[in-house]
Structure 1
Amino acid sequence: MSGTISRLAEEYLQASFRGVPFAVVGSGGGNGRNFQIHRYPFRDQVWAEDLGRAPRSYRIRGFLIGPECLAQRDLLVMAAEAQGVGTLIHPTVGAKQCALMRFDWYERDGVMGIVDIEMELVESRDWLGSVITLALDAAIGVAAVAFGSSASSDYASNTLTPYSYGRSVLSAGRAVASLWGAGAVTAIRSPSAWSSALGVLPGNLGRYVGGNGAAIDPDATEDSVLQDLTTNGQVVSANVTGLADAADAMSLAAGILALPESVRSAIADPAGQIAVLTPLVSCSATVLASSAPIGGAIATARTATATLCRQAALLSLSRACGDWQPSSAEDAQAMRLKVGTLLDDEAIIAADNGNDASFQALRSLRAQVLQDLADRGARLPDMITVTRNAALPALVLAQQLYADGSRAPDLIRRADPIHPAFMPTSFEALSS
């Protein structure tokens, strides 16, 4: 939506259904008890049989605005027609699993670029127990969508005039993107990516495999995992090749935004995703001073392309943080400091360049990511230093510390001993 909804955030609250964002104008709902009325002949009174709580219904009025509002409308239409229930993220109601009963959209007479929407939903499941975690995780997705739209819109605005000089300027932008894309190919082929891909395998794979938040696939094998990673690596290579063949600024921007996501989707372990995406956040363009108009255009195109490359990597990195599961409060705090600094530095660059939409979207994304990591870290134990007089087996230490021998692999991973039967006399471990 080209950052327009982001600029209206102070006036209108944000919501989403099945991950598709929209602005909220007004909301309502229906609550009560589910009574069955029994009527009897020749009796003036009825018997109201209480069958439990009535379904909670929600009525929402909102709008989509901007040059991409019709595309956003089509996404909501597909979400409304999708089978089953979906997740509603509402600024005041929270996160709910709802069935969409009715979805209506209207285009105003004689007005382009805005679509009004109305929807009625019935709650299928209340995630009250995990509503905070889910809402923050979904909020990262909503903020990421807004940031992606703002970054693409600002890139198109900043390069509109330079790219009008001809293909030489476009070639300069493609060269920066291709050089940055080569780093993505290196990342997907790195040992970190290969070891992280094995995190989906079932069983205890030792201290070097398995990360934070990877979903275990019981049907996965070593051959299937390596075959999938090879196939995904070919997809990443094809996306990098597409950057060099981009026909215009919009296709180049779309390719840049898609490349880090293809890298992230190739790795199941969120910790591995973060490891391979972090180097992609660094991207700078070599600019030669020139007084000629076309020289200035080339410099502008190269700088704007490098900025979009960094922003695309930050976008995927933020989504990976939403899936990442820290193992301790210290891990969460360290990640908050790392990601927060990266997002803050890029927001300052956007502000210095006058890209207000990207600046606001970056600040919003930063707030959501840091709040999510803070909430996760608050629920985790702290790190303590364990000291023993002699080198003991990991199983013995796990029983002594936690009364649970199954915690031995975690101790082995943190202490990294030469052999698990001879743990170091002093090492870091979880307090509980």
Structure 2
Amino acid sequence: MSWRNELLPASFRGATFHVERHDSEVGGRRVHLHQYPGRDEPYAEDLGIDASRYTIDAYVIGDAYMAARDALIAACNKEGPGRLVHPYLGELTVLCPKVRLREERTEGRMARLSLEFVQAGENRFPQGDADRVAATTASAVAADTAVDRAFSVLWNVARQPNFVSDAAASNLAGIARQLADALADLALVGAAVPGESLAAIEPLRAPSATLVADPAAVSGGLRGVLEPLLTADRASRSVVGLALDLATAGGGSWEPVVGSTPARLAQAGNQTALRSLLRRAAVTAAARAAAGADWETYDDALGARDRLAAALDDERDLAADRGERDAFTALGSLRAATVRAIEAKAPGLPRLVFETPRVTEASLVTAYRLYGDVDQAETIARRNGAIHLGFLPAGEPLEVLARTGDQRAR
């Protein structure tokens, strides 16, 4: 059978036409490229399959070509998606955003049309975990943008004496050490620490004058450490805990700035701005991770919800005090989206209860005694910080998952 016999008669909404050639985009991924200062390797965030687009060089011909031409143009102008019979690709549901018409005196009884179609898809109402996670991610991106804008207003290094820039560089290096220590602690509890995060710390350890003078480079450097964690270990509650701890610490303890000269005020303002940036970058990262995390228990999920809500409330209050309207609004939207995402997952999760062994025993014994199998042995030991799997001390309450029908309060 000839390949020509496989071709379908072309039409759109029943209006027929002939195809001279087509040029279609039918594959590929939507990618957002993140590039961080001081890091040669970018991070490409996969956002899903790109929409298909179809360009067709069409023509109608014959004594009645004008009627066929007008019918095809009317079909393209009709509201909503329609059925395209593509000779090469089969039946498609598309919209027609553009039509070009060409008619020439030397080509009697014929009109040429360039038709552009785009995949229509379905307008699905937001529902389920994926939509809530996506909503939280979008809110976090908006919050990051507003936070970075507020930071750029407060950050004052350009045209200041050298000691102001040196102090800002020293503070940024201190944050880099704090981030490195936090990632090391994360590795100790078995969470994945991506190489991208470790590499992003290096330019911050001894930041250049160029980096320090650029507020976008400073904020981008901090996010370059935090963002890769979101995809490397989404299921780990440790990632959320790390980010919340950073948000609480806010840069650690720094020597207070003494003096009221313009340069000293700029130095103190930079210190405040940097603390605020770290807290806000950490809490938005924590929100994104919390929304997508696979929580082990109801208590873990609601505990993270409460910490995140409190941290975001604190940052909103500070934004209000400073008159940062965009940051105030964006952080409030992020709080609402994060709480909804976590609360949607929490009801179906197991509860935690306290169990106190009467004698010192191995976690294998505890698991078998409670559940009739040993599958939970490592989880019990890890959750309670046991030094050794073989020794859970007598008389000390343990956090364990509630058994079916066990409604004891924590």
The TM-score, its normalising length taken from structure 1, stands at 0.56
Mapped to 1, the partners of 2:150 and 2:196 lie a distance apart of 33
* Partner SS, residue 123 of structure 1: coil
* Partner SS, residue 295 of structure 2: coil
Mapped to 2, the partners of 1:423 and 1:346 lie a distance apart of 41
* Partner SS, residue 122 of structure 1: coil
* Aligned match for 1:82, one of 50, 66, 72: 50
Mapped to 1, the partners of 2:364 and 2:52 lie a distance apart of 46
* Aligned match for 1:136, one of 125, 132, 151: 132
Mapped to 1, the partners of 2:389 and 2:268 lie a distance apart of 56
Amino acid corresponding to residue 151 of structure 1 in structure 2:
V
* Aligned match for 1:307, one of 258, 269, 276: 276
Amino acid corresponding to residue 193 of structure 1 in structure 2:
A
For 1:151, the equivalent position in structure 2 comes to 147
Mapped to 2, the partners of 1:358 and 1:280 lie a distance apart of 19
Mean Cα deviation higher: 245-254 or 343-352: 245-254
**Equivalence map 1:311-350=2 (5 Å):** 311-350=280-319
**Equivalence map 1:237-386=2 (5 Å):** 237-242=202-207, 245-246=210-211, 247-262=213-228, 270-281=236-247, 282-283=249-250, 286-386=255-355
For 1:206, the equivalent position in structure 2 comes to none
C-alpha contact (below 8 Å) 2:352/2:401 kept by paired residues: yes
C-alpha contact (below 8 Å) 1:189/1:233 kept by paired residues: no
Flag the 1:423–1:299 CA change in 2: closer, same or farther, 3 A. closer
Flag the 1:81–1:166 CA change in 2: closer, same or farther, 3 A. farther
Output one character per residue of 1:170-208: Cα deviation in whole Å (capped at 9) or x when no partner: 444333222212211222233x3244246xxxxxxxxxx
Flag the 1:135–1:393 CA change in 2: closer, same or farther, 3 A. same
Mapped to 1, the partners of 2:282 and 2:360 lie a distance apart of 44
The TM-score, its normalising length taken from structure 2, stands at 0.58
C-alpha contact (below 8 Å) 2:198/2:225 kept by paired residues: no
Larger C-alpha radius of gyration, 1 or 2?
2
* Partner SS, residue 122 of structure 2: strand
- The number of equivalent residue pairs is 297
Amino acid corresponding to residue 283 of structure 1 in structure 2:
G
For 1:176, the equivalent position in structure 2 comes to 171
Mapped to 2, the partners of 1:272 and 1:387 lie a distance apart of 25
* Partner SS, residue 384 of structure 1: strand
Contiguous gaps of at least 5 residues in structure 1: 1-36, 38-77, 86-98, 106-118, 199-227
For 1:216, the equivalent position in structure 2 comes to none
Q: Does 1:196 align with 2:214?
A: no
Mapped to 2, the partners of 1:231 and 1:257 lie a distance apart of 11
C-alpha contact (below 8 Å) 2:95/2:120 kept by paired residues: yes
Mapped to 2, the partners of 1:80 and 1:372 lie a distance apart of 20
Q: Does 1:123 align with 2:122?
A: yes
Mapped to 2, the partners of 1:423 and 1:414 lie a distance apart of 14
Mapped to 2, the partners of 1:400 and 1:233 lie a distance apart of 42
For 1:430, the equivalent position in structure 2 comes to 402
Deviation at 1:429, TM superposition (A): 2.9
Contiguous gaps of at least 5 residues in structure 2: 1-13, 15-45, 54-91, 99-117, 405-410
C-alpha contact (below 8 Å) 1:163/1:297 kept by paired residues: no
For 1:233, the equivalent position in structure 2 comes to 198
Mean Cα deviation higher: 366-375 or 259-268: 259-268
For 1:93, the equivalent position in structure 2 comes to none
Flag the 1:80–1:165 CA change in 2: closer, same or farther, 3 A. same
Deviation at 1:84, TM superposition (A): 7.9
Mapped to 1, the partners of 2:316 and 2:285 lie a distance apart of 16
Flag the 1:307–1:123 CA change in 2: closer, same or farther, 3 A. same
Amino acid corresponding to residue 137 of structure 1 in structure 2:
V
RMSD of aligned residue pairs (Cα, Å): 4.3
